[in-house]
Structure 1
Amino acid sequence: MIDATTYRAGRGVAQEPVIVAAPGPGQIRVSIRATGVCHSDLHIVNGDWPSEQPLVLGHEAAGVVDETGPGVTTIQPGDHVVLSWFAPCMRCSNCAAGRGWLCTGTTALANTLPDGSTPFKDSEGQELWPYLGLGTFAPHVVVPETAAVKVDDDLPFTVGALLGCSVTTGVGAVLNTARVPAGASAVVIGCGGVGLSVVMGLKLAGAHPIIAVDLSPAKRAKAQELGATITVDPRETDLTEYVHDLLGGVDFAFEAIGNEKVIETLPGLLAPGGAAVLVGMTRFGARSSIDPYDLADQGKSILGCNYGSSVARVDIPRLAKLHLAGHLPLEQLIDNVRPLSEACLALEDLAAGTGLRSVLTP
């Protein structure tokens, strides 16, 4: 029995003992060495994404494979892996077409393993469900083989954890979803872990200028360290007027908050032919109003971005190599490493907007 951080509707977040099953066919058991604290976990806790299932929280992690179940062929004990929360089925038409981020057969969004089961039970034998099919706020997890991506042993686990969600989402939004060309202008609204990953992706792509927008002076300063050429405090500067006075509008506008009111402002930031990219996830049921005439008349577009339009087995190793080569300083996203037992406190800090990215370690 191990201690894990759980969420139960009506009771909230708590630490409690759980039982983890042995890996079944096509499954592996992983010792978690680092797990990030992401807004997607907070969306569950604050009710933006309601769940009646009792969950083991956490979905952004790296670790070492302890044990493999029958039929596992691509992973073996001792491998260092990053866990991908969107484990593809590898059978649907989107997977076959190389669009794993649009997999229609994944069970991750149902918070189950591919066979519909859960590896977790509480101390009374009641089922607990792994959030997004992983449940990484626990020292050990059982996940499908397709959720584990082997990476170089030299990759720090704390950095690997962020590759499981935020970095792959942010950098992928630039390189995969928007396919930003060198010299394109861009604005990034929201400089948390995902937004700063967008900034790094834009720097990799050769975008210029890169305008970073956030209420926090510390986050704006970090954005500048990571490649932003201009930073803006939206309380002091009208962003729409600013980008039009400076550039006549930007080629790309990235929203990394998930705020429906901010999303409404994106088309107004764009130059003719520009694209707005929705990277942050809103609450369920959120609605934004736009001017369709402006989109049609000016040839503007709005791009949805799920997981950075990434194929985990391709993009995660590539991003890991870019980090090890010094091109993605991902360690700068981490400003707080704390024990796994303090997941509740880390979620409270995230809700308060404190710091950049917390990583939990056993």
Structure 2
Amino acid sequence: MKAAVVQQGQFSVTDLPVPTPGPGQLLLRVVRAGICGSDLHARSHTADLHALGRDLGYEAIMAPSQQVVMGHEFVGELVARGPRTKRTWKKGTRVVAVPMVKHGDEIHMTGFDIDAPGAYAEYLLVQEAFAFEVPDGVDDDKAAFTEPLAVAWHAVRRGSVGKRPAIVIGCGPIGLAVILMLKASGVKTIVASDLSPTRRELAKKCGASVVVDPREQSPWTAYELKGPVGSVTELADFGLSAIGAMRKVPLLPWGRVMRAGEKLGAAPAGPVIFECVGVPGILDQIFAAAPVRSRIVGVGVCMEPDTVRTTLALNKEHEIRFVFAYDPEEFQHALHLIASGKVDPSPLHTGTVGLGDLDQAFTDLGDPETHAKILVDPTL
């Protein structure tokens, strides 16, 4: 089969044997594959990724010297089944899958591991337990967005926005996907901030209610800030006034009233901020500028060392949550949202290339005015 392999940061198209499905595995003919931001990082920071993987206990993570078939976002057609599979799907059934395979007792991440070749090829293996049928009516291009939308859905769930405003810093593919999922989950105020005019326009199409160029307008003042969380002194003044008023009432158990209010969600709180840039310095900028008691969700992948002033986050009582990937239910739910029409990833799709064009596609994705998301069609 034809496959695009990356080695020392360079792509080349070569012939590889068609994989043989093992126990519990399915062989798919790749119909579409997506290029993810993490793919861009893996190509340009392979040595760092390899070191990170080893620190996390994943010894099989790709190394610069290896020839690796990348691609972990995909939709494919069922071609063959391995032993111990249910045989419930007919050949030709379109399938998306969580990009992990199991060989023996070891789990391998599809597209980041020489033992789990990815979707930049004509064929790939998936685990049947992690595979889901694509409903009729969902075209191939939309189905290929299941995996990145699952990442975004997991981030939004972990963010627990509720009735708070959401601020998305960075409107690259993952930031745009987060906006789509915030909109689908019913968040009313979604502020999107990006330097790129093209990405700001895409943010509007994805459902952002306020879009700002941070060089001209601060995302922290682009919406109505409710509650005394604009600054530490504002919050302190609020507390002084509120407690002073309660203590004027004889016999009022003001301490218990205060704790009861907190349990009912009446405590002052800032917005939920989704950091989707992933470059050094962004988190520290957020710590410095974000309102008091904000919740910060780290979604962007930063492959370089970063320095933050934790005392800023400490004094503002920022809550910080980092997110990674998703679980199988979230993956299935993302597919359901696409199939139901509640989420339309089409605005993100800005190009389709063949295997031989991957090197140029990865370069083109570095220009925010040119592309948001490029899909790969192995037949081109």
**In the alignment, is the contact (CA less than 8 A) between 1:75 and 1:145 conserved in 2?**
no
**In the alignment, is the contact (CA less than 8 A) between 1:30 and 1:67 conserved in 2?**
yes
Q: Report how far residue 219 of structure 1 moved.
A: 1.0
**Which letter maps to 2:118?**
G
Equivalent residue number for residue 259 of structure 1: 279
Taking the aligned partners of 1:70 and 1:41, their CA distance within structure 2 comes to 31
Q: 1:173 to 1:358 in 2, by over 3 A?
A: same
Equivalent residue number for residue 236 of structure 2: none
Taking the aligned partners of 2:185 and 2:102, their CA distance within structure 1 comes to 27
- The C-alpha deviation readout for 1:234-263, integer Å capped at 9, x for no partner, is 2233445x3598565541111112112112
Aligned length: 319
Taking the aligned partners of 2:327 and 2:130, their CA distance within structure 1 comes to 11
**In the alignment, is the contact (CA less than 8 A) between 1:255 and 1:279 conserved in 2?**
yes
- The C-alpha deviation readout for 1:8-49, integer Å capped at 9, x for no partner, is 12x621112222232122221101111011111111221253
**In the alignment, is the contact (CA less than 8 A) between 1:20 and 1:142 conserved in 2?**
no
- The C-alpha deviation readout for 1:59-117, integer Å capped at 9, x for no partner, is 1101111101001237633332113225589x9xxxxxxxxxxxxx73328945xxxxx
- The C-alpha deviation readout for 1:298-356, integer Å capped at 9, x for no partner, is 4321101101xx222x2233222222322111122112123343222211111233311
Equivalent residue number for residue 234 of structure 1: 214
Q: Report how far residue 156 of structure 1 moved.
A: 1.6
Equivalent residue number for residue 299 of structure 1: 317
**In the alignment, is the contact (CA less than 8 A) between 1:177 and 1:305 conserved in 2?**
yes
Q: Which runs of 5+ in 2 are unaligned?
A: 51-62, 231-269
Q: 1:110 to 1:327 in 2, by over 3 A?
A: closer
- Equivalent position SS for 1:259: coil
- The answer to whether structure 1 residue 140 and structure 2 residue 129 are counterparts is no
Q: 1:232 to 1:86 in 2, by over 3 A?
A: farther
- The answer to whether structure 1 residue 108 and structure 2 residue 106 are counterparts is no
Taking the aligned partners of 1:355 and 1:287, their CA distance within structure 2 comes to 27
Q: 1:291 to 1:348 in 2, by over 3 A?
A: same
Structure 2 length as normaliser, TM-score? 0.76
- The answer to whether structure 1 residue 13 and structure 2 residue 11 are counterparts is yes
- The answer to whether structure 1 residue 214 and structure 2 residue 234 are counterparts is no
**Which letter maps to 1:306?**
F
Equivalent residue number for residue 81 of structure 2: 68
- The answer to whether structure 1 residue 79 and structure 2 residue 99 are counterparts is no
- The answer to whether structure 1 residue 360 and structure 2 residue 376 are counterparts is yes
Taking the aligned partners of 1:54 and 1:305, their CA distance within structure 2 comes to 29
User: Which of 68, 91, 96 pairs up with 1:55?
Assistant: 68
- The C-alpha deviation readout for 1:211-251, integer Å capped at 9, x for no partner, is 111111111011112211111112233445x3598565541
Taking the aligned partners of 1:110 and 1:84, their CA distance within structure 2 comes to 11
State the identity as a percent: 25
Superposed structure 1 runs of 4+ greater than 6 Å apart = none
**Which letter maps to 1:156?**
D
**In the alignment, is the contact (CA less than 8 A) between 1:34 and 1:61 conserved in 2?**
yes
Structure 1 length as normaliser, TM-score? 0.80
- The answer to whether structure 1 residue 173 and structure 2 residue 193 are counterparts is no
Question: Cα RMSD over matched residues?
Answer: 2.6
Q: Which runs of 5+ in 1 are unaligned?
A: 92-104, 113-128
Q: Greater strand share, 1 or 2?
A: 1
**Which letter maps to 1:289?**
V
